[in-house]
Every structure is written in C-alpha cells, then in structure tokens.
Structure 1
Amino acid sequence: MAKSPIDLPIDYFESDDGHRLAWREMGAGRPVVLLHGFFSNAITNWLRYGHAEKIAANGYRVIMPDLRAHGDSAKPHDPDAYPADILARDGLALVDHLGLSDYDLGGYSLGARTVVRMHVLGARPSRMIISGMGLSGLTSLASRAEHFRHILTNLGNHPKHSPEWMAEAFLKTTKGDPEALLQVLNVFTNTPEEAIRAITVPTLILAGEEDQDNGSHEDLAALIPDATHVEVPGGHMSCIVKPEFGQALADWLGEAE
C-alpha cells in the first residue's frame, strides 16, 4: 500500500482554556481517535508510514489530533497552560466537539498514556488501543519524565548515537518546541493499578518486541481483563515506522460494521 498523503486539511477547535488545537482526519465510517507520542505529531505517527490509510480502508473515520505543545496545535510556554491531566482533558474536549459517542480510542507512547488518563476521567470508548506502553510507563513516571527533561535541557550535548542523541535527532525532524515540551513533563500523572484493572472494554496492547522503554507491556496486558497482546518487530522508536505496526492496528480493529 502506498504511503498516506501528509497534506490532509487541518481542522481546529478551541480547548476549554482557550488554546487552538489541531486535528486531521481520513476516511469515513466508524470513528477511531488516535493520539501520537511525545516529540511527535499526527503526521509522523499515523500518516507518514501508512497506518491511518490501512485503518481507513477498513471503513473507519480516523481522527488524529496534534496534542498540545506538538505539531500544528498551540505551544504555550506559560506553565499555567499545563495543569494536571490537561492532555487528557484536551482529548475529552475533542470527543465532545465532534459529538462522538460510539467510537474507538488509541494512542502511542504519550498518546497511550493520555488514552488511559482519558478513561480515568470518564471517557468510555467501545475499544481501546494502548501501544508503545508498558505497566511502569503508566504507574511510575518520575524516571521517564527525568529522562526527557535531561534530553531537553542538554540539547546539542548528547553523545552521538546514544538514546538521548537519537531522541534529539527525532525532535529536530518534527520541529518540536523544547520549551513547550518541557512543560508537558509537568502534566505526567501516575495511574494506579486499580484504575488500569477498571478498563473492561476490549483493549489492544501493541508494542515492539524489543521495546521496554515504558516497562513491561506483558505485565500491562495481564492487568487488563479483556486485553489482546500483540508484538511487532522493532523497539520503541523503530516499530512505529514499520508496516507491521499499522497492519496490526488494522487487523485488530477489523472491518467496521
């Protein structure tokens, strides 16, 4: 399948606190909302490598926002623009703006964490996708936040080919705003295991077979009552660029009714 076009029209809505947030969509049919990862955007995670196109071909309306501080969405530097759970609240605001009731909800890495926080705050999608995420990436975020804080406060000084250097290189490709992204680290919120066990809808746990960046995806899958655990080739930064990733999403979602 050819790569998806990355020049889809951009739509905007206003967050509850007045910031302009962007989303793109592809296809028609059952809505599925997909949230991208940290340093990334909707184009990079869902469009560039054809994942959204594969899902849309199954009869879905694929809705892909740019999270606050990312992509074409507002990138405020004011710490007051980043209260606890603001990314999840932005996601809920988009669902409300679009009038979605029967929909599926998924995310990668930070997007997956945001999906779980949306559930904690009351989102009730029919199905969920938690990808690029393990158990400790939801329950214990301090070390992960410090990892990214170190990257963002030492740009240009990371040893070549180190994980930090690779992350900085990725940040350059997405034209990320380091000051705004630093503020995002302050909204990282731990989710207790009992809240994860409360996810009772069918849930796909999808991760690269070499990905342990956010802890054990096996342990996460074991905690969710109706979880399907799927591994694809690659690690945290490489699995999402592979065709197997998008195919796994499309296969699990299946043909839309």
Structure 2
Amino acid sequence: MSPAGASGAVLYAEADDGTLVGYRVFGEERLEREASALPPVLLVHGFASNAEVTWQGTGWVRALTDAGRTVITTDLRGHGASDKPVGGDAYAPETFGADLVAVLDTAGVEQVDAVAYSMGTRVVAALADLAPERLRRVVIGGAGPDELFAAWDLDEVRALLLRDEPSPHPLIEQVLRPAIAAGADREALLGVVEGFAGAELRFPPGIRSLFVVGGDDQVPAGARELAEAWGSGFVSIPGRDHVSTLTSRAFKDAAIGFLAAE
C-alpha cells in the first residue's frame, strides 16, 4: 500500500467500468510492522453520506486506530470523493461489491473485517457474494431484513431530486432533503435509489456477524429476529435513532470487541 494512505490522504481505485473510487488508509504502518496483526477494518458508509462524515467525524477512525487496528475507509460511487456516474445501471449491488474488491486489490489487502452502516451493510453483503474469502467478520449497523428503497415510489424520488417537488412519504423527505442541502449530486442519488432498490442482506455462514441498532431506529426493523436466525450477535443501544447511533461509544465498543476475536 502507498505510504500516502497512512495520513488519510485520498487514494483511488479504478473499478471495472472505469469509475474512480476514493479511499483512505489509517494506521497503515502496523501492517508492515506486525505480520500477525488482525486484518484491517474496512468502514463502509450509508446512502447520501461519505466516509469523512460517517467515520471520521463520529470518532470511528480514531477509536479503531487507538485500539490498534489499521482502518480503510471508502467513499461509495456516487458519494464523496468518488466518481458519480449517471443512471441506475451504474449502481447495481454487484457493482458496489466489485468496487470494494477493487479498493482492497489496489490497497494490497487480502482480507478485512468490516463495519458497515445502513445501505453500506448491503454493499458489504455484495462483496461477500463476490469474494467471501476477503471478509473475516462484519458488523451490521442500522440495517435489517427490509431494504429501504424498495418501499419508495421512484416517481416521488425523481420529482423531489430533479424538480424539488415535495414527497408525501416522510422518510423520503427526511433522507433526501438534508443530502440536497449538503450539496449531494442529485442525479447520482437518483441512480443509487434506482439501481440499489431491493438489494439483499445475506452473508455466507463462514463470515461471523454482529448486528447493532439504535433502540429508537425504525429502519432496521426485524434485525433482532434476523440475528437470531443467523446465530449472530445483537446489540440494541437505548435512546438512539438512525443518525445518533453512529456517534454512540457503546456501538464502537461493541464493534471493537467483536472484531478483536481471532
């Protein structure tokens, strides 16, 4: 891996379709120093966000590096420092999964643990479907059996993103309005919703998983039952919603402890 990654500088992997996917590496020197170290931790953000907001701004990178882990963050295509192609065909689940493979290949990393949040959990699931040997353990944050976009009316999403027309669906308003205000690429967000709707959440039996949800978060409804069906761990954090769960120290501690096991 390039020494530039150790300082968190943006590096780029080229996807199969030529899309450039931005990523950063923190604590890289540990890989060179400790051959027996646990694998790096790959952090994968959710919809309409980016790695800096989701993982650096909430203290995740610092918490993991303080715990002795090398960290890789990535901006999903359509988000942050990555390219933003237009059209739902560019945002199929398997395409997102292949992007993560490209990031790991470019970074020179054979296997990772992963912490993913919301939509990012299904991106990591797509990685597991393509290359299960690249994942050791995964923390599934803020997600359950129901994919959010599958319940959205695409005509309403297009009207809001392209014409600023209000949506009668409160969650569409709650998710998309802040993203627009923050300067997100509207056509890229539309492509993500169109291409990613209905993406599956599943992992091969050999990849151990931990579910973490906020006690006041309705997005991951059914996560407890899914965790029980999979034989996975489950942690609910009282008083936290879909946004505030990310800042919880209890979330970080649960993930760090789970990923520390051999």
| Alignment of structure 1 residues 8-19 onto 2, 5 Å | 8-19=8-19
Helix, strand or coil at the partner of 2:132: coil
Which deviates more, 94-103 or 43-52? Answer: 94-103
Give the number of equivalent residue pairs: 243
* Structure-1 separation of matches of 2:187 and 2:60: 30
| Alignment of structure 1 residues 39-58 onto 2, 5 Å | 39-58=48-67
Structure 2 residue 99 is matched with structure 1 residue 73? no
Q: Higher helix proportion, which one?
A: 2
Look up the equivalent residue of 1:121 and give its one-letter code.
L
| Alignment of structure 1 residues 213-232 onto 2, 5 Å | 213-225=219-231, 227-232=232-237
1:104 corresponds to: 113
TM-score of the pair, normalised by structure 2? 0.81
Structure 2 residue 217 is matched with structure 1 residue 211? yes
Report the RMSD for the aligned CA atoms in angstroms. 2.8
Question: 96, 102, 105: which one pairs with 1:87?
Answer: 96
Instruction: Structure 1: give runs of 5+ residues left out of the alignment.
Output: 1-6
Structure 2 residue 143 is matched with structure 1 residue 133? yes
Q: CA deviation at 1:101?
A: 2.0
Helix, strand or coil at the partner of 1:17: coil
1:4 corresponds to: none
1:38 corresponds to: 47
Identity of aligned residues (%): 30
Residues 219 and 152 of structure 1, relative CA distance in 2, 3 Å threshold: farther
Q: CA deviation at 1:154?
A: 6.2
* Structure-2 separation of matches of 1:192 and 1:157: 29
Residues 23 and 135 of structure 1, relative CA distance in 2, 3 Å threshold: same
Q: Is the 8 A contact 1:107 1:129 kept in 2?
A: yes
Q: Is the 8 A contact 1:134 1:212 kept in 2?
A: no
Q: Is the 8 A contact 1:26 1:53 kept in 2?
A: no
